[in-house]
Amino acid sequence: MTAGVADVAGKGMTRPGKAKFGPVAWLRWIWRQLTSMRTALVLLFLLALASIPGSVLPQEGIDPAAVAQYYTAHPALAPVLAKLSGFDVFGAPWFAAIYILLFTSLAGCVLPRAYRLAKSSRQPPPKAPRHLGRLPQSTDFPAAGPADEALAAATRMLRARRFRLRTGDGWVSAEKGYLHEVGNLLFHLALLGLLASIALGGLFGYKANKLLVAGEGFANTPTALDVFHPGRLVTASDLQPFSITMTKFTASYITSGSQRGQPANFNASLSYTAQPGGPVGHYDLQVNHPLNVDGVQVFLIGHGYAPTFKVTDGTGRVVLDQPVPFIPVEEAGLSSDGVIKVPDAKPQALGFSGEFLPTAYETITGSVGSEFPAANLPRVVLVGYEGNLQLNNGQPQSVYSLNTSQMRRIDYPIKMLAPGQSIVLPHGLGKLTFTGYRQWASLAITYDPGQLPALFSALAALAGLILSFLVRRRRIFVRVSENGNGTVVQLGGLTRSDAAGGFEVEFAELTGEFKRRLGSAAGSSAPAKSAVDETSKDGADEVALAQSKGE
Amino acid sequence: MPSPALDQLSNAGLVSAILLYGFAMLAYALDFLYSRRKFESPATAAQAREKRPAAVLVGAGSGTADAGLAADEADRNFGADPADASAQLADLSAPPGGSGSDVVGLTKWPQGAWLRTAFVLTCLGLVVHIATITTRGLAEQRVPWGNMYEFLSAITCAAVLILTLASIKFRAYYMGLFVLLPVVVTLGIDEAVIYTPEGAVAPALNSYWIAIHVTGMIIAIGMYIFGAVTTVLYLLADRHERRVAAGQESGLAGIMAQLPGAAKLDQLAYRAILFAFPAWTFAVIAGAIWADHAWGRYWGWDPKETWSFITWLVYAAFLHARATAGWRGRRAAYVQLLGFACLMFNLVGVNLWISGLHSYANM
Ligand code: HEM
């Protein structure tokens, strides 16, 4: 790994001299810097740092309402932040720049390493160094039999422990634990896979929302959906052609104790067809239990009330008779706000804004509210307007807000209406009847072809991580020699991937076994190290060096 | 149906656990005062390190003494890591205390009356603590980590569990006092200030993925806590050792004589993170699966998710720092503590100051 060479040997920071190096050398230098461990470290920090504003500022993709609120609260700052992608941090060019650099560095770092690992796994371990005593782990002891027998026995033992071996004159070197590297590479490659999966979802997936009142249905087309976020390469014809009807919605709440009013269960009964004319399926949609149609997932993400109204205008014609979804404004009692727009009423278009109270109460001072989320005592309070609703002035208008700038307040006493009660509007404007209520559910519809690949990548990363932490790559060297007193066995051990320790335990165990099998019954009066050093002079060190350099 | 009687029992349990941990701390402290451990003092270990020129050469990879190794190290596929080599040397230079034992000078089971008492009290406290959490779960008929109160109880329980396991496995009995201190403080605050009576959780939390995801988080956090405490001790020990080496006064000599030295503490902290990081990774993946089931997307940059990601990145940076020249040792330790700060911010700060879909954890 080029990066490692640069860092560990401390040579990474030497720039190519201008006189001697051309543009190619500079490119090489830049590439080396990019793929160095130090750069990876800095980029990891940068990515972490860059994520922070995404958690502090409201984000367009998560909570557009909060972004709008931020604009009103900080009118001077907000446009500046918007310019800097402050409300879309995770889609910002500067955020992308960091992770693209990081993943380039990752690829540049990992792919050559994978290649080198594949190559070195087919090569035998290096020769045993001459001075085993200088290794982090080493020991020596006298052996019972002649040297070649001790060596053969040592070789057998190491082979039985599934080490890869290389033998030579009076030594054997053994290596084990390639899976450490394999795990590390798998982890890093899987991160690349994860990025690719996320990109796949971003290009070919889509997200949509639909508010559905009980009893109604819709088909999966861009126009029928309330909110539609297609991936970059998605067109309308790519949408799966299913349709869904919600036959019933039920919600139950905890009725006593300290958690009174907390939701206990939601259930949306759906019937659906995967394509027009196809067989009809039924599904009980609940939180955490999405419906899967044709690879698209449909989730229950919210609910509320849609009071039903009947409006008769001044001419006696019924101009509105339908449920109108109201949006909950507080959780404890699900008081919900909403508006009713009646553009076709004669002689004047009508508009109402008001509140639905599932379990209504009224205080002595006259303020009203809802004390429980279930519709135990459903009431509405409405304020009426007449005039121009401005629906056709070219500006898109939310169905949940009323533009009263060109309307007059209709004068009638405001009070809570029970189901079946009406307001008779003065001046022959007509009549509004609160006929009852239904419930609505909001559905999230998501299609993400990168989902499964992302899951597999994440699991592969985890497996790689565990593998690289569990397996340690280590080498054991044995040298056997004879001196005046008999046979001497020298053992040396070395590990690179063992920063957490533990190799010394393995080495001690191995030493114990070697001594039991090979050791002389006489005991352990180890000969002086210098004697051993002098006897081995085959220059294995130099060979090992040459070989490593050649890589 | 939730059962108030079981719930009361479980509250009494938590108070008893706090008391047992408190007494255990006292016994650990008395052990520090009255027993002499058989550690070699860190200062002599440091001197011993200096005295092994051959091994230091291996570590430095100077290319002459053992060129084969140095070249290997440059290859970065393999080779002696200087930091590791010196850590191992600290072992080698210590007097042999049972073959292969990790912390030389300590046996597997605690030695000395005070230490034994402390450890038994810790184990008792842990058993009571686990029983407390279990009864609360039975009382509520769900996994007992659905709000802040329960969550804090669970992560401190995990930290004590990791402490006892590490005590036995790595002979890290000396960690008892230091891990129990934040545990007792946190549990005290939990019981006195944050207490929440039993109750059900919102439907969005009612999934077996919550059990998997949050259990993973809790275990990972327990290990991260252990790692952070050990790292603080490492930084103190390192400062102490450098001062002693420079012939300066160090006010910590008394405590440091009872600890195994900076190199060993560093290794212990690293071990904790080696376990914690995959556990955290697993928990984040499980969380993504749960989010996908509940909200229709596996990742949505919700503040909690964002901070889990930041935490993950910083701990990944820590693991990298350990393998980057010039970053090992104290700098890496600071990176780890930064990761821990992000973790704590995610638990407390995000709940208090930033709202999101995960706002269930509100106190
Ligand atoms: C998305 C960015 C990255 C993340 C999240 C990440 C994470 C990690 C983690 C968690 C480890 C420790 C696990 C193990 O040893 O298997 C690790 C190790 C490693 N990473 Fe990365 N990494 C990233 C990018 C890079 C890059 C760009 C490089 C190349 C410079 C790199 C090189 C390495 C190396 C060489 C190790 C082994 C360290 C050792 O020997 O202990 N990584 N990485």
**Which is it for strands A422-425 and A407-409: parallel, antiparallel or unpaired?**
unpaired
pLDDT for the residue A528: 35
In chain B, residues with a C-beta closer than 8 Å to the C-beta of A65 are none
* Distance in Å from the first CA to the final CA of chain A: 10
**Closest among A349, A436, A419 to A384, alpha carbons compared:** A349
Residues 294-323 of B with CB under 8 A from A: 294-303, 306-307, 309-310, 313-314, 316-317, 320-323
What's the whole-model pTM score?
0.78
Which residue on chain B is closest to A175 by alpha carbon? Answer: B78
Pull the structure tokens for residue B332.
Answer: 């890496």
pLDDT for the residue B25: 95
pLDDT for the residue A23: 85
Q: What is the dihedral of CA A330, A335, A338, A340, to 10 degrees?
A: 180
In chain B, residues with a C-beta closer than 8 Å to the C-beta of A133 are 54
* Ligand 1 lined by A403 (C-beta under 6 Å): no
Q: Is B123 helix (H, G, I), strand (E, B) or coil?
A: helix
Under 8 Å CB pairs connecting chains A and B tally to: 243
Using a 10 angstrom Cβ sphere, with 0-12 exposed, 13-18 middle and 19 or more buried, the burial of residue B193 is: exposed
| Chain B contact probe: residue of A288, A445, A505 with most B CBs at under 10 A | A288
Q: Which helix (H) or strand (E) holds A441?
A: strand A430-447
pLDDT band at A211 (very low <50, low <70, confident <90, very high): very high
Neighbouring-strand partners of residue A217: A245
Instruction: Say yes or no for a CB contact (<8 Å) between B301 and A59.
Output: yes
Neighbouring-strand partners of residue A311: A320, A432
Domain A125-177+474-548 annotated CATH 3.30.310.50: yes
pLDDT for the residue B357: 47
pLDDT for the residue A531: 33
* Ligand 1 lined by A105 (C-beta under 6 Å): yes
Quick one: what percent of chain A has pLDDT higher than 90?
42
State whether residue B72 sits within 8 Å of chain A by CB: yes
Indicate the average pLDDT of chain A: 84
User: For the segment A332-377, what is each residue's pLDDT rounded down to a tens digit?
Assistant: 889 999 999 999 998 889 999 999 999 999 888 888 999 999 999 9
pLDDT per residue as tens, chain B (363 positions): 455 666 677 778 899 999 999 999 999 999 888 876 655 444 444 444 443 333 333 333 333 333 333 333 333 333 333 333 333 333 333 333 333 334 344 566 777 888 999 999 999 999 999 999 888 877 777 777 767 888 899 999 999 999 999 998 888 899 999 999 999 999 999 888 888 776 666 555 667 787 899 899 999 999 999 999 999 999 999 999 999 998 888 878 888 888 888 988 998 999 999 999 999 999 999 999 988 877 777 888 888 899 999 999 999 999 999 888 888 889 999 999 999 999 999 988 887 776 554 443 333
User: For the segment A479-522, what is each residue's pLDDT rounded down to a tens digit?
Assistant: 988 887 788 888 999 887 666 667 888 888 888 888 888 876 44
Q: From atom 7 of ligand 1, which residue's Cα is the shortest distance away?
A: B316
The shortest CB-CB distance from B58 to any of A135, A454, A500 is to: A135
For residue A543, pLDDT beyond 80: no
Instruction: Say yes or no for a CB contact (<8 Å) between B68 and A297.
Output: no
The shortest CB-CB distance from B278 to any of A90, A258, A469 is to: A469
Residues 78-117 of B with CB under 8 A from A: 78-81, 83-85, 87-89, 91-92, 99-100, 102
pLDDT for the residue B4: 63
| CA atoms within 13 Å, Cβ hemisphere of A259 | 19
Q: Which residues contact A408 (CB under 8 A, 6 or more apart)?
A: A385, A386, A387
Q: Say which residue the tokens 């006696």 belong to.
A: A316
**Closest among B87, B97, B100, B103 to B260, alpha carbons compared:** B103
Specify the ligand 1 atom closest to the Cα of A105.
27
User: For the segment A5-58, what is each residue's pLDDT rounded down to a tens digit?
Assistant: 333 333 344 455 555 678 888 888 888 888 888 899 999 999 999 999 998 898
**Which is it for strands A164-168 and A171-176: parallel, antiparallel or unpaired?**
antiparallel
Q: Which of A316-330, A523-537, B18-32 comes out lowest in average pLDDT?
A: A523-537
Please confirm whether the linkage preceding A347 is cis (ω < 30° from 0): yes
For residue A540, pLDDT beyond 50: no
* Ligand 1 lined by A37 (C-beta under 6 Å): yes
Phi, psi of A97 (to 5 degrees): -60, -40
pLDDT for the residue A358: 95
B152: alpha, beta or left? (left if phi > 0; alpha if psi -120 to 50):
alpha
Label residues B311-346 b or e (16+ Cβ within 10 Å = b): bbbbbbbbbbbbbbbebbbbebbebbbbbbebbebb
DSSP B178-204: HHHHHHHHHHHHIIIII--------GG
Q: From atom 17 of ligand 1, which residue's Cα is the shortest distance away?
A: B320
Under a CB-based contact definition with an 8 Å cutoff, are residues A361 and A383 in contact? no
Q: From atom 8 of ligand 1, which residue's Cα is the shortest distance away?
A: B316
Give CATH 3.30.310.50 domain extents, chain A: 125-177+474-548
**Closest among A222, A220, A130, A199 to A168, alpha carbons compared:** A130
* Ligand 1 lined by A475 (C-beta under 6 Å): no
State whether residue B279 sits within 8 Å of chain A by CB: no
* Ligand 1 lined by A35 (C-beta under 6 Å): yes
* Alpha-carbon gap, residue B218 to B220, rounded angstroms: 5
Q: Is A490 helix (H, G, I), strand (E, B) or coil?
A: strand
For residue A282, pLDDT beyond 80: yes
User: For the segment A440-484, what is each residue's pLDDT rounded down to a tens digit?
Assistant: 999 989 899 998 999 999 999 999 999 998 888 889 999 988 887
Torsion sign over Cα A63, A65, A70, A76: positive
ipTM of the modeled complex: 0.81
pLDDT for the residue B176: 93
Using a 10 angstrom Cβ sphere, with 0-12 exposed, 13-18 middle and 19 or more buried, the burial of residue A456 is: middle
* Alpha-carbon gap, residue A34 to A26, rounded angstroms: 12
The shortest CB-CB distance from B296 to any of A133, A446, A501 is to: A446
State whether residue B142 sits within 8 Å of chain A by CB: no
Instruction: Say yes or no for a CB contact (<8 Å) between B294 and A299.
Output: yes
Instruction: Say yes or no for a CB contact (<8 Å) between B76 and A1.
Output: yes
Which residue on chain B is closest to A457 by alpha carbon? Answer: B285
Domain boundaries defined on chain B: 42-102, 202-353
In chain B, residues with a C-beta closer than 8 Å to the C-beta of A540 are 68
* Alpha-carbon gap, residue A519 to A540, rounded angstroms: 25
Specify the ligand 1 atom closest to the Cα of A3.
30
| CA atoms within 13 Å, Cβ hemisphere of A489 | 31
Torsion sign over Cα A476, A480, A485, A486: positive
User: For the segment A107-118, what is each residue's pLDDT rounded down to a tens digit?
Assistant: 998 899 889 888
| Chain A contact probe: residue of B195, B206, B306 with most A CBs at under 10 A | B306
